[in-house]
Structure 1
């Protein structure tokens, strides 16, 4: 088998979770390794931010991020692991210090929290931990 275009099949965690849930609920019961892999992967994905995402929230977030000249992989990382600090954006966006201003980083964080409200709860928990130490 030959891979012609490696970038065609990039899926978000939400899309993978959705597909695996459909496989799990399918009429045919999977046996053996496929059932185990499906179960374990779903169990992991349900503990990540994608559990709270919707197709609409992802689509709207991507539209809002369109103006920041981010690559597909950078957008995918922002969707899969929504950042809550500027440092996380620096880790996800290649050469972010040259490509993005501080204001743009703050705008991206605002877009993420606007489209993924569950991120606000995580952010509040992190702030409580920082204040408690």
Structure 2
């Protein structure tokens, strides 16, 4: 792999998901075959539960284009895309010194409301697919069952040693 431009900027969560998918990351049991490290899978597992897994480049580009009229910093736009805030309060926490930049608190409130509506219209919501959640829950249950089985075996072994059956 060749680095074309070092430190080109921050990535959206969608871009990270897209990159990991291109390396072979997926929600399945054949993870051994993919060229993705365990830590990258943890990132992938987290991000597929966020709005990033439903976003496309078109969604992001449309949102960025429509945000230009507000004069937001790149980091603020990136945070809005990644967090996908849908309430005015969430927008307030992302935009720095909004009251100063937009004139007064009333105007900042209007801008925050417009941005929240823009997020609702242009960026898709997080997944609510019970199947994908069920798959993740199944893996958690399998891990918990494996841990329980190990604990049970250790307890049996300890009990048998106490009885003097095993030396």
**TM-score with structure 1 setting the length:** 0.74
Alignment of 1:1-133 (within 5 A): 8-24=8-24, 29-30=34-35, 35-100=37-102, 101=107, 102-118=109-125
Task: Please report the RMSD computed on the Cα atoms of aligned residues, expressed in angstroms.
Answer: 2.2
Pair member with larger Rg: 2
Post-superposition, which runs of at least 4 consecutive aligned residues in structure 1 deviate over 6 A?
Answer: none
Tell me the number of residue pairs that the alignment of Structure 1 and Structure 2 aligns: 111
For residues 50 and 41 of structure 1, do their structure 2 counterparts lie closer, same or farther at Cα, with a shift above 3 Å needed? Answer: same
1:29 Cα deviation after fit: 4.2
| C-alpha distance in structure 1 between counterparts of 2:117 and 2:45, whole Å | 29
Q: Taking structure 2 as the reference length, what is the TM-score of the superposition?
A: 0.60
State the alpha-carbon separation in 2 of the partners of residues 38 and 24 from structure 1. Answer: 11
Change (3 A) 1:117 1:18: closer
Residue of structure 1 equivalent to 2:150: none
- What does the per-residue CA deviation read over 1:77-104, in whole Å, with 9 as the maximum and x for residues that have no partner? 0000011111111110101222232221
